[in-house]
Amino acid sequence: MNRNLSRAALLALAVSAGPAAPASAAEGPVTLAIGAAAPDFDLPGTDGQRYSLASFQEAEVLVLIFTANHCPTAQAYEERILKLHADYAGRGVQIVLISPNDPLAVRLDEQGWSDMGDALEDMKIRARDRGYTFPYLYDGETQEMSREYGPKATPHVFVFDKERKLRFVGRIDDNEDPSKATTTDTRDAIEAVLAGEPVKVETTKVFGCSIKWSEKREWVAQGYEDWAKEEVTLEPIDTAGVEAVVGNDSKNLRLVNVWATWCGPCVIEFPELVSIHRIYRGRDFEVVTIDADPPEKRDKALEFLKEQQASTRNYAFDKGDPYALVDAVDAEWPGNLPHTIVVAPGGEVVYRSDGAFDTLEMRKAIVGWLGRYYHSVPGGD
């Protein structure tokens, strides 16, 4: 993504990547009103347990936070949510996270700031990675709870008192960059409820990624239709060209994958490679593939690439000497296919895989360099 874009433009892209969502999906349900009773629910958590309102009956204050793995704004608040839990768990406050999104309504290019999507299995990984010791619930299958509560964006906070009446609904604070936040809206509401006092600011607007209601599945389908129309090419490349590719004098983080049509693991993992291209290409990122087939197999290689809808930068090594290709690509590569490296500008390898890559580990390396927040600095997490 062009970092010359304004922050507002970047945020708009994150909230509405791709074509405009259907109007009905964009509007969503009405947000629960202040003073309303908390609707009950029955949802699975990342810990394998099921939870309802009764699961938290001992809590003096119940704080429900609708969040999403893929959302950069939501990710930016994860540390602050952990701090809320650390500060208030001993005072009778229960923090509960809920993912409201239908995973099948999240486009690939909406995941460009994350290492995973919004499925329950992805949530289990995020909970483990973040060390969550409070419930993280999945409402993506039916979205019944989320439609009752009416979150508008992720994150969106609902604070309930002991009687489970809604006392505050809104943001955590006023800036996803913690160094620039000037309010403590959720923390203030919790303190007021604990003290038995009125909440001074009962509602605020929220800013973040839109809820992925199931109606947006057609939006996802449109993305796949558009990608299928993109041109697929295969150009020759010599040793010097390969060395230039891996030397990476561009501004982009560059994934380089060496493959061949006769290589079973190459063929198996290639769809994941195309998905990674679609996920991150809106940022300073690109995928380059290098075909190691002999020259007489180039037509077959191009046919395969077209079947995969691989609108990546695709090259075919023209020398016909696999050892020359191995030497040009990576001094640490013993020569087995497939081989994948992720190269930062200037040539530093930030991820390497001899044989089939691990998609999650590679996505972690990609996001670790690109950054998962809008205030991230490229080259660091």
- pLDDT per position as a tens digit, 360-377: 999 999 999 999 999 888
- pLDDT per position as a tens digit, 138-186: 999 999 999 999 999 999 999 999 999 999 999 999 999 999 999 999 9
Q: Are residues 242 and 324 in the same domain?
A: yes
Could you tell me if residue 165 is inside a domain? yes
Distance, in Å, from the CA atom of 147 to the CA atom of 169, rounded to the nearest integer, reads 15
Residue type, 207: F
- The yes-or-no verdict on residue 37 having pLDDT over 90 is yes
Q: Are residues 106 and 245 in the same domain?
A: no
The reported pLDDT for the residue numbered 376 is 86
Q: Are residues 215 and 240 in the same domain?
A: no
Q: Where are the beta strands (DSSP E) in the chain?
A: 43-44, 50-51, 61-66, 93-99, 136-138, 153-154, 156-160, 166-170, 209-210, 235-237, 253-259, 285-291, 313-317, 339-343, 349-354
Q: Which of 199, 219, 239 is the last residue of a domain?
A: 219
- The yes-or-no verdict on residue 24 having pLDDT over 60 is no
The reported pLDDT for the residue numbered 288 is 98
Could you tell me if residue 224 is inside a domain? no
Distance, in Å, from the CA atom of 339 to the CA atom of 69, rounded to the nearest integer, reads 29
Distance, in Å, from the CA atom of 295 to the CA atom of 316, rounded to the nearest integer, reads 8
Distance, in Å, from the CA atom of 31 to the CA atom of 152, rounded to the nearest integer, reads 7
Range of lowest pLDDT (25-34, 167-176, 206-215, 254-263): 25-34
Distance, in Å, from the CA atom of 165 to the CA atom of 264, rounded to the nearest integer, reads 58
Q: Are residues 155 and 249 in the same domain?
A: no
Q: Are residues 261 and 166 in the same domain?
A: no
Mean pLDDT of 69-79: 98
CATH code: domain of residue 303: 3.40.30.10
The reported pLDDT for the residue numbered 159 is 98
Above pLDDT 70, what percent of the chain? 92
Distance, in Å, from the CA atom of 359 to the CA atom of 94, rounded to the nearest integer, reads 34
The reported pLDDT for the residue numbered 27 is 66
Q: Are residues 181 and 310 in the same domain?
A: no
Sheet holding 349-354, edge to edge: 235-237, 313-317, 285-291, 253-259, 339-343, 349-354
**Under 8 Å between Cβ of 317 and 337:** no
Q: Which of 219, 239, 262 is the last residue of a domain?
A: 219
DSSP letter at 206 equals -
- Buried b vs exposed e over 38-61: b needs ≥16 C-beta within 10 Å? beebebbbbeeeebebebbeebeb
Could you tell me if residue 66 is inside a domain? yes
- pLDDT per position as a tens digit, 296-339: 999 999 999 999 999 999 999 998 799 999 999 999 999 999 99
Could you tell me if residue 225 is inside a domain? no
The CA–CA distances, whole Å, from 3 to 239, 301, 378 equal 32, 35, 10
Q: Are residues 75 and 193 in the same domain?
A: yes
Sheet holding 136-138, edge to edge: 136-138, 93-99, 61-66, 156-160, 166-170
Q: What is the CA radius of gyration of the chain?
A: 23
- The yes-or-no verdict on residue 15 having pLDDT over 70 is no
DSSP assignment string, 10-70: HHHHHHT-SSPPPHHHHH-PPPPPTTPBPPP--EEBTTS-EE-GGGGTT-SEEEEEE--SS
Could you tell me if residue 329 is inside a domain? yes
380: confidence class by pLDDT, cuts 50, 70, 90: low
The reported pLDDT for the residue numbered 150 is 98
Residue ranges making up the domain that contains 354: 230-370
Closest CA to 231 of 324, 293, 306, 282: 306
Spacing of C-alpha 2 from chain mean position? 19
Distance, in Å, from the CA atom of 28 to the CA atom of 38, rounded to the nearest integer, reads 19
**Under 8 Å between Cβ of 43 and 51:** yes
Q: Are residues 192 and 235 in the same domain?
A: no
Quote the mean pLDDT of the chain. 93
Q: Are residues 209 and 260 in the same domain?
A: no
Could you tell me if residue 62 is inside a domain? yes
Q: Are residues 236 and 285 in the same domain?
A: yes
**Is the pTM here over 0.85, yes or no?**
yes
Total structural domains in the chain? 2
- Reading the block at residue 120, the tokens are 């329950």
- Reading the block at residue 102, the tokens are 């239908």
The reported pLDDT for the residue numbered 20 is 44
Could you tell me if residue 380 is inside a domain? no
28: confidence class by pLDDT, cuts 50, 70, 90: confident
- The yes-or-no verdict on residue 7 having pLDDT over 80 is no
- Reading the block at residue 229, the tokens are 């129309």
10: confidence class by pLDDT, cuts 50, 70, 90: very low
Q: Are residues 97 and 204 in the same domain?
A: yes
Could you tell me if residue 2 is inside a domain? no
Q: Are residues 245 and 333 in the same domain?
A: yes
Q: Which of 198, 219, 240 is the last residue of a domain?
A: 219
